[in-house]
Structure formats: structure tokens, C-alpha cells
């Protein structure tokens, strides 16, 4: 993939965007007015358990197919890359691990936001599979992310009223001013499905 000078990861480190995590940005790309519903403490704990199990499965699967584990939970400002592998040919693969049974669009978008020129490949993984993101998908997502960041920064009022209903998001949204808000989606998040 051709090099992108200012990646989204770089932009998220800059002062105007420090409070926007890749997880939130991925959802804002789909609906700029999305507001995350609060998580219950027990849901968060449950998620951490599911995520740890999925991580072990992803590591085991890669090791069995010849990859070498290079890093676990590589942190940056406001983001976390779950796993970094190196193939037998030296290609660096980043894996964004999800505990969800189904890998969704928001998972793919979030993983694409972690791209920078130091990795050759990004995959979204769960307990069963690894989905490789294409270069085209990553580039397209990076473009959408920059447009969304500009909207959130320069026109926050417009962003707050730009409603783009999405069944997966409306279910976990807490924007009480939105007519599309699900009657059941504002208080409890089903982490096993969303994460």
C-alpha cells in the first residue's frame, strides 16, 4: 500500500482529537451523532473475560500456522493494538481481537484505523477466524475517518444532528435526542455481540 503521510493514528495523537478513541471514531464514521451508552461494571468484566479467551485462541491459531508472536497489547495514546505477529517471510501482521462471534463492519473500521506504514497487514480476529483487511478498504476507511474527525472538530453541532441509523449502533446508542434511538438500546450494552 502506498504510504499515507498523516495516518489517522497520528491524528488521534494530536491535541484536537486526543479524547476520541479508535473505538468511538469507528462508530462516529457510521453515525456522527452516535453517543456511547454507559457500560455496567459486570458487563465490562464479562467482556474482559471473553476477550482474554479470544486472544488465547488467536495466538494459538497463529502459532500453529507458523507465525511468531512479536507483541501483546501494544499501547499508544488512546489506543491499543491487541497482537502483533511476524510471518515466516517477515511480514508484520497486526491483529485486532474481538470476543464477538460475528465480526461486524464497525470491527473492521476500527481495525483499519490502526494502520501505519510499520505494518504489512491488519486482520480482525475472533475465536474462530482472521479476516484480512484489503489495502483499498484501509485507505477508504482512513479517508472517511479524516472527514469524520474534521466534522467532529470543526462542526460539532452539525455532527451531533447528523443521524445515520444503523441497527447495530442504534442498539447501543445513548443519544436521547435522536428519533431512531432504540427503546431498549440506551442503558445496557451486550458486549458479547458488540465487542
For the bound state, the minimum distance from the C-beta of residue 176 to ligand SF4, rounded and expressed in Å, comes to 9
- Distance from C-alpha of 55 to C-alpha of 117, rounded to nearest angstrom: 24
The CB density around residue 76, as the number of other CB atoms within 10 Å, is 14
Q: For the range 146-153, what are the long-range contacts, defined as Cβ-Cβ under 8 Å and sequence gap of 24 or more?
A: 146/8, 146/11, 148/25, 148/28, 148/29, 148/32, 149/8, 149/11, 149/17, 149/20, 149/25, 151/32, 152/20, 152/28, 152/32, 153/16, 153/17
Nearer to ligand SF4, 73 or 105 (CB): 105
Query: According to the binding rule CB under 6 A, does residue 138 interact with ligand SF4?
Result: no
Span of 100-108, 130-138, 174-182, 187-195 interacting with ligand SF4 by CB under 6 A: 174-182
Span of 2-10, 89-97, 137-145, 160-168 interacting with ligand SF4 by CB under 6 A: 160-168
For the bound state, the minimum distance from the C-beta of residue 170 to ligand SF4, rounded and expressed in Å, comes to 3
Considering only residues 113, 175, 189, 195, which one is a binding residue for ligand SF4 as defined by CB under 6 A?
175
Span of 4-12, 16-24, 28-36, 134-142 interacting with ligand SF4 by CB under 6 A: 28-36
Query: According to the binding rule CB under 6 A, does residue 21 interact with ligand SF4?
Result: no
Query: According to the binding rule CB under 6 A, does residue 104 interact with ligand SF4?
Result: no
Residues 6+ apart with CB under 8 A from 136: none
Amino acid at each position: 500500500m502506498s504510504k499515507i503521510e498523516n495516518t489517522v493514528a497520528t491524528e488521534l495523537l494530536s491535541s484536537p482529537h486526543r479524547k476520541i478513541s479508535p473505538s468511538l471514531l469507528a462508530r462516529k464514521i457510521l453515525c456522527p451523532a452516535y453517543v456511547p451508552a454507559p457500560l455496567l461494571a459486570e458487563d465490562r468484566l464479562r467482556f474482559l473475560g471473553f476477550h482474554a479467551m479470544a486472544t488465547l485462541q488467536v495466538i494459538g491459531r497463529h502459532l500453529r500456522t507458523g507465525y511468531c508472536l512479536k507483541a501483546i497489547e501494544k499501547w499508544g495514546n488512546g489506543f491499543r493494538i491487541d497482537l502483533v505477529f511476524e510471518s515466516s517471510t517477515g511480514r508484520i501482521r497486526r491483529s485486532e481481537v474481538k470476543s464477538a462471534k460475528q465480526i461486524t463492519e464497525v470491527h473492521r473500521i476500527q481495525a483499519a484505523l490502526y494502520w501505519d506504514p510499520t505494518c504489512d497487514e491488519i486482520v480482525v480476529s475472533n475465536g474462530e477466524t482472521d479476516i484480512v483487511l484489503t489495502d483499498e478498504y484501509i485507505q477508504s476507511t482512513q479517508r472517511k475517518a479524516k472527514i469524520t474527525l474534521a466534522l467532529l472538530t470543526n462542526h460539532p453541532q452539525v455532527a451531533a444532528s447528523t443521524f445515520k441509523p444503523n441497527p447495530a449502533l442504534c442498539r447501543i446508542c445513548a443519544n436521547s435526542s435522536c428519533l431512531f434511538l432504540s427503546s431498549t438500546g440506551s442503558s445496557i450494552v451486550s458486549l458479547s455481540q458488540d465487542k
